[in-house]
Structure 1
Amino acid sequence: MGNHPNVEVFLRNHESLAPKRYRYSDVKKMTNSFKDKLGEGGYGGVYKGKMLDGQMVAVKVLSETKGNGEEFINEVASISKTSHVNIVTLLGFCYEGPKRALIYEFMANGSLEKFIYNGNPSTNGRLGWETLYNIAIGIARGLEYLHRGCNTRIVHFDIKPHNILLNEDFCPKVSDFGLAKLCTKKESMISMFDARGTPGYIAPEVFYRSLGGVSYKSDVYSYGVMVLEMVGGRKNIDVGVDRISEIYFPHWIYNHLELDELGLQGLMSEEDRVNARKMIIVSLWCIQTKPSDRPPMCRVLDMLEGSLQSLPIPPKPFLFSPARSMKDSSTTSEL
C-alpha cells in the first residue's frame, strides 16, 4: 500500500503547522528497533524512544490495517494546533507507505488508569487526595483550552483515564486525538455519523439525538465519569459488586453524598474532605443527561477552585447504561 493521497495532500497543505517528519529508518533507530514496549491499544503499540539530542519520547506506531489514514490525520491536525501544559506535545511523525508513527514527549508515569482503581496490581496504590484533586484541575484546564482557548475548537471524544498521561510530577496531559473533531467557534453542534468513544464514557446524546445535539458538552460528560472514578477508586459501572443498587456508581455516590456518609479511603485532612466533595459535586453536574444542564469547562474550573459552600447540589443523575455494546445501548431510565 502506498501513501494515501488524502494524507499527502493534508500534510502538504499543513506543512507550516505539522511537526517534523521522520523517515521510518529514523523511527526504528530512535526506538532501538521497537525494543521497549510501553503499551498497546486498538490503534497499535507505543514504544519508548530517544531522540538524537537525548530527549526521551513515546512513539505510537499505528496499525497498518487502520483505514485510510483518518485517525492519523485527526491526530496530526488537531494536536498540531495546540500548545498547552495539559495537552501532550507531538514532536514529530512518520508517514511512509503503510508505516505510520507519531512521536510524543515521554510521560514517565504513564496513564492515569494505573493509579486510580483500588486493588490494581500494576501500581503501588492509589494517589493521594491532593494529587487527585490537582490532576482533576489540570485535565479541566486542558479541556477548557481545547474547547475555548485554541484557534479552532477541538472536541476530543475519547476522554478516559487511559488517555490521560502523567509526567514525573504527576502533571496530567490529555492525549490520543485519534477520534477528535475540529470545528469552528461558530459551530455549536457537530454532525456525526458514527458513535465515537469508549463505552462507559460516551455521552448519551451521542446515541439519543432527542436529548440534544452532540457538542463539546460530550467531553464534559466523559470528564465527569472519569472524575467520579478517580474519587471512588472503581469503574463507573461495576458488575462485581453484590447489591444491584451499587452497580451504577453515580447513584450510590449521590445517595451517600446526601447522607454525608461517603466513607472514602485515605482522606487525611479537612482540606482533602472538602476537595473530594467538590470533585463529586462537579462530576455529578458534568454527567447530567441533558447536555444543556452540564457546565462548560470554564465553569467546572470555577467550581473546583471555588468554595464548597457555593456549590449547588445537582439533580440526581439518570441511569444511562453505556456498559453494553454500542449497538445494544438501552434507553435512559431513572432508577
Structure 2
Amino acid sequence: MELKIFQVMDVDLSLLCLLLLLLVSHGVGLKDMCQEARCKKHGPVIRFPFRIKGKQPDYCGYPGFDLSCTDRKETLLELPTSVKLYIKNIDYASELITATDPENCLPRQLLNFSLSTSAFKFAAWLQRDLDFFNCTSRQRDSYLWTSCLGVPGYDIYAFTSGSIVTYFDLTSCSKMYSLSSVPDDLNSRDNILHLNWSRPACGLCGALGKFCRLKNNTDRIETECYDKPKSNEGIIKKIVAAVTTVGSAILLLIVFALYRVYSSDKAAKQHQKRIENFLADYKALKPARYTYADIKRITNDFKEKLGQGAYGTVFKGKLSNEIFVAVKILNNSTGNGEEFVNEVGTMGRIHHVNIVRLVGYCADGFRRALVYDYLPNESLEKFVSSEHGKTCPLSWEKLQDIALGIAKGIEYLHQGCDQRILHFDIKPHNILLDDNFSPKISDFGLAKLCSKDQSAVSMTTARGTMGYIAPEVFSRNFGNVSSKSDVYSYGMVLLEMVGGRKTVDKEVENNTQIYFPGWVYNSLDNGEELIIRIEKEGDAQIAKKLTIVGLWCIQWHPVERPSMTTVVQMLEGGGDKLTMPPSPLSSAGQGRMKSHLPGRPLHQILEVISETN
C-alpha cells in the first residue's frame, strides 16, 4: 500500500507544480477571478459587463450578460426567449456585439426573437414590418427571404407590410404570419446579426482606455471605471501567498494519493464485474457493454468497411463463426454524445421484429460504438434510390410486405412501448433488410420519448433529413410536432418506393419541375393509369394502394394524416375501398377529409409537452 501511495504521489507532483503556477499567475484574490477570458484562442475577449456563467462569480458581470462556452469552444449567448447565438466579436467601446446563428439560418429564429425582456437591441437602423408567404412558384420580382426556411416544393418570400402585392402572382402562395420590426441583418447571406446595449454605460470607460466594473460597498447596481491591471502588479504578494499554501497543498496531495489507490482497487473490481455482467446480458439478449479492445477484436481491427455516414463509420464484425454483427464507430468530433445516449437508451426498450436489434455498445473513454445485428441486404435505399442507377429487383408483393413491415414497426414505436417513441428520421437509408428482405428500422440517434397519453412534443430545432421532414418541424404554422411527423416521413418513403418503379419519360427526364407526389396525385385524380413498370397481374393495384396511402400520409397539416394504426389497416386491406386524399401540394384542402378515417377530429388541439430525454 505504501509503495502505491508514493508512486501516485510521484506521478501527481506535476499537479502540485501546476497548482503553484496558477496561484502565482492568477493570485489568490477574488478580483482575479474576473480577469479577461476567452472560450478559444482567437475567440472574443470576455470581460465586464459579460461573464462566463458557471466559471466566474456573479459580480464579474452585469445581470443579463451571461455567456457560456460550448463543447466546441464557441462563445454562446442565450436570450430570455431561448434564442441561442454564437458571439464572434464584442466592441466594448461602441457597446456592440456581432453574432451568428449556430445552425446558419437566422430567419428560422424569427418567431422566438423578442428582445423586449433582453438587455440588447437590434443595431440595424433599417427595420421593417414584413408579411411572410410560402409559394410553390418562383416570385422573380419579390423579396426572396431565404432558402433555409423552405421545405421541398416551397420557397419563403417576404413583403413589406402594407405594400401593394397586386403586382405579384400569389395564386400559388399562402400567407404564413406577420412580424414587426425585422432588421435587415436577419436575412444577410453571411449569417451576421448586430446587437447593441445601452446599460450598463461602459462605453466611456473604453473610450478613456479603462475597464468597467461594479462598484463595491453599495446596495445599488452601479458601475465605475478603473485602470487596466498591469501584468506584474502585486507579483511578490502572490508568490508569498502561494508559498504559504504549499503545506496545505502537500497534505491535499497525500489525501488525493490515498483516494487514487482506493479508486484503482475499486476500478479493478468493477472491471471484473463488468465482464460477468457482459456474459449474463448477452445470454439474456440485452445490449452488452464492450471495451474498445473488444470492438477491435470483433471487427478484426476494422478490416471490412460497410459504409460511412455523417456520424460514423460501419464495419463488419463477428462474435463467433455463426454470429455476424455491424459495428458503427461514432465520430468523436460531432455532437455532444446526445445521439449515442438516445440510441442506447431508446433501443434498450425495443423488442420488435421490424426494429433492428442493438446487440451492444462501447463507451470506453471518448471512444463510442454501437453493435447491431448484421443484415446482408443493406438498406432499402439501395433498391429504391435512382442514384444507384439499377432497376429495382424487388417484386411489387415484396415491396408491399416491406411497406407493411415498416408501418408495423413505426406503429410499435408509437403505441407498443411504455413510452411513445418518435423516430424523427424515417428514410430508406435507415430501413435495413434481412436475408428475407424483411424491413428493420434503425438509427435512433434523433429519437425522442414522450408519454403515451400526450399527443405532441416540444422542439427547439428542426431534426431529420431534408426531403423527409414534416412541414410542422420547420414551422409551427402547420401544426404541432407529434407522432404524425413520423407519418409524413413514412409517406415520403412509400412514394419513393413507388417512384423508383416509375417508367422514365425521356421528354421530361431532365425537367427539374417534375415532382413525383404532384405527378402521381394528378394522374390518379384524373383517372389516368400510373406509368409504372408492371410485371404481372395485380401489380397495378398494389402500386395504386401504396400511392394513395403515401399521399394520405404526406398531407401538410398533421391532423389530416392518418395514425400508423390506420395506415396498417389500409395496407392490410384490399385497396379497392381507399379514397383519394386532398392534394398534398395545396393548403386549401382542409375541408375535404374523407370519412374512411374515423375518430380523428379535423381541428383537434394537440397539447404540447416536453421531451423526456
TM-score range with shorter-chain normalisation? Answer: 0.7 to 0.9
CA displacement at 1:261 relative to structure 2 = 2.0
The alpha-carbon distance between structure 1 residues 223 and 192, as it changes in their structure 2 partners (threshold 3 A), is: same
Cα distance in 2 for partners of 1:223, 1:278 equals 15
**Secondary structure of 1:48's partner?**
strand
Residues 472 and 479, structure 2, Cα contact 8 Å, conserved in 1: yes
Q: Does 1:284 find its partner at 2:551?
A: yes
Name the residue aligned to 1:206: 473
SS at structure 1 position matched to 2:456: coil
Out of 196, 203, 215, the residue aligned to residue 463 of structure 2 is 196
The answer for the alignment partner of 2:582 in structure 1 is 315
Report whether the alignment pairs 1:132 with 2:429. Answer: no
**SS where residue 88 of structure 1 aligns?**
coil
State the distance in 2 between where 1:101 and 1:245 align: 42
- Deviation of 1:308 (Å): 1.9
Does structure 1 residue 109 correspond to structure 2 residue 406?
A: no
Residue number among 3, 8, 32 corresponding to 2:300 in the alignment = 32
Could you say what secondary structure the match of 1:103 adopts? strand
Which residue does 1:262 correspond to in 2? 530
Ranked by relative contact order (alpha carbons within 8 Å, sequence separation 6 or more), the top structure is 1
Separation of aligned partners in 2, 1:89 and 1:143: 15
Query: CA distance change for structure 1 residues 188 and 18 in 2, over 3 Å: closer, same or farther?
Result: farther
**Aligned to 2:432, what secondary structure does the other structure show?**
strand
Deviations 1:235-261 (CA, angstroms, capped at 9, x unpaired): 9xxxx9444551x21100101112322
Question: Is the 2:491–2:549 contact (alpha carbons within 8 Å) kept by the matching residues of 1?
Answer: yes
Match of 1:147 among 393, 410, 414: 414
Alignment of structure 1 residues 42-191 onto 2, 5 Å: 42-52=310-320, 54-118=322-386, 120-121=388-389, 125-191=392-458
What SS does the corresponding residue of 2:362 show, helix, strand or coil? strand
Q: For the Cα contact (< 8 Å) 1:140–1:301, is it kept in 2?
A: yes
Q: 1:227 and 2:488 equivalent?
A: no
SS where residue 543 of structure 2 aligns?
Answer: helix
Mapped to 1, the partners of 2:419 and 2:321 lie a distance apart of 32
Tell me the CA shift for residue 97 of structure 1. 1.0
SS in 1 for 2:472: helix
TM-aligned CA distance change 1:119 to 1:81, over 3 Å: closer
Taking the aligned partners of 1:277 and 1:36, their CA distance within structure 2 comes to 41
Distance 1:69 1:56, change over 3 A: same
- Aligned partners of 1:140 and 1:87: how far apart in 2? 11
User: 1:265 deviation in Å?
Assistant: 0.9
SS at match of 1:219: helix
Q: Which has the higher strand share?
A: 2
How many residue pairs get aligned? The number is: 301
In structure 2, relative to structure 1, the CA distance for the partners of 1:173 and 1:319 (3 Å cut) is farther
Say if 1:102 and 1:169 are closer, same or farther in 2 by CA, change over 3 A: same
Of the two, which has the highest radius of gyration? 2
Picking from 549, 566, 569, the partner of 1:302 is 569
Mapped partners of 1:68, 1:118: distance in 2: 34
CA deviation after TM superposition for structure 1 residue 19, in Å: 1.5
Paired residues of 2:456 and 2:481 also in contact (CA < 8 A): yes
- Is the 1:118–1:234 Cα contact (8 Å) retained in structure 2? no
Q: Is contact 1:119–1:125 with CA below 8 Å preserved after alignment?
A: no
**CA 1:319–1:72 in 2, change beyond 3 Å: closer, same or farther?**
farther
- For normalisation by structure 2, the TM-score amounts to 0.47
| 1:302-321 Cα shifts (integer Å, max 9, x gaps) | 1111122221110111269x
So what's the TM-score if we normalise by structure 1?
0.85
Give how far 1:119 is off: 6.7
Q: Give the C-alpha shift of residue 188 in structure 1.
A: 1.2
In the TM superposition, what whole-angstrom CA distance separates every residue of 1:144-188 from its partner, at most 9, and x where no partner exists? 000001111100000000000000100000000000001111221
Instruction: Give the Cα separation in 1 of the matches to 2:393 and 2:468.
Output: 21
Question: Aligned with 2:421: secondary structure?
Answer: strand
Alpha-carbon separation, structure 2, partners of 1:60 and 1:119:
24
Identical positions, percent: 54
Residues 36 and 243 (structure 1), Cα distance of their counterparts in 2 relative to 1, 3 Å cut: same
Paired with 2:365 and 2:286, the residues of 1 have a C-alpha distance of 18
> Distance between the aligned counterparts of 1:53 and 1:74, measured in 2?
31
Stretches (4+) displaced over 3 A? 15-18, 123-126, 240-245
- Take 2:565 and 2:405, find their aligned partners in 1: how far apart are those partners? 12
One-letter identity of the residue aligned with 1:181: K
Question: Are the aligned partners of 2:286 and 2:359 in contact in 1 as well (CA < 8 Å)?
Answer: no
Task: Determine the C-alpha separation between the residues in 2 that align with 1:24 and 1:54.
Answer: 22
Structure 1 unmatched runs, 5+ = 5-11, 321-335
Q: Per-residue deviation at 1:117?
A: 2.9
Contact 2:332–2:367 (CA under 8 A) maintained in structure 1: yes
**How far is the alpha carbon of 1:135 from its aligned partner?**
0.3
